[in-house]
Amino acid sequence: MPDKADFETTFKRLKAILEPYASKLVVSADTSQNYMLDLNHVMKNKHRVFFAGVRVGKAYVSFHLMPVYAFSKLLDDMSPDLKKRMQGKSCFNFSSPDEKLFKELAKLTKQGYAKFTDKKFFSQF
């Protein structure tokens, strides 16, 4: 059974990776279990574009990062250890804090933010 204290610490650490972007993006959820950031860009369907988020689940704390889905080249330099944490195309699962992987995830988030907020990216929509 997962340790709730580890989940709480993991959630806080993963949320801290995203918080520097909150002033530039839209915080669409901010609870003790769910933190989500959207871009200011509104699509034709009237919804904002999801950027990233952290959510506490039953078995893992999940870090979702949409830029890695849109720009798979961001994953080319990913360490095998972080790749093992991937679930699907844009989700990373953790059951306890891992500072080395969190540092790598922070770098990946920064790279993803630069690509996802590039005006050329959204000119295609």
Q: Hey, what are 125's tokens?
A: 């929509």
- Phi/psi for 94 (5° steps) reads -135, 140
Residue 111 has pLDDT above 60, yes or no: yes
Question: pLDDT exceeding 90 applies to what percent of the chain?
Answer: 76
* Average pLDDT of the chain, as a whole number: 90
As a CATH number, domain 4-116 is 3.90.1150
Residue 84 has pLDDT above 70, yes or no: yes
Residue 51 binned pLDDT confidence (cut-offs 50, 70, 90)? very high
46 backbone φψ class: left, alpha, beta (φ>0; ψ -120 to 50): left
Query: CA–CA separation, 1 vs 4, rounded Å?
Result: 9
Asked if 45 and 64 count as a contact pair (C-beta separation under 8 A), the reply is: no
The pLDDT value recorded for residue 63 is 98
Burial class (CB in 10 A: 0-12, 13-18, 19+), 5: exposed
Query: CA–CA separation, 55 vs 64, rounded Å?
Result: 8
Report the pLDDT averaged over residues 54-82.
Answer: 95
The pLDDT value recorded for residue 123 is 62
Residue 28 has pLDDT above 90, yes or no: yes
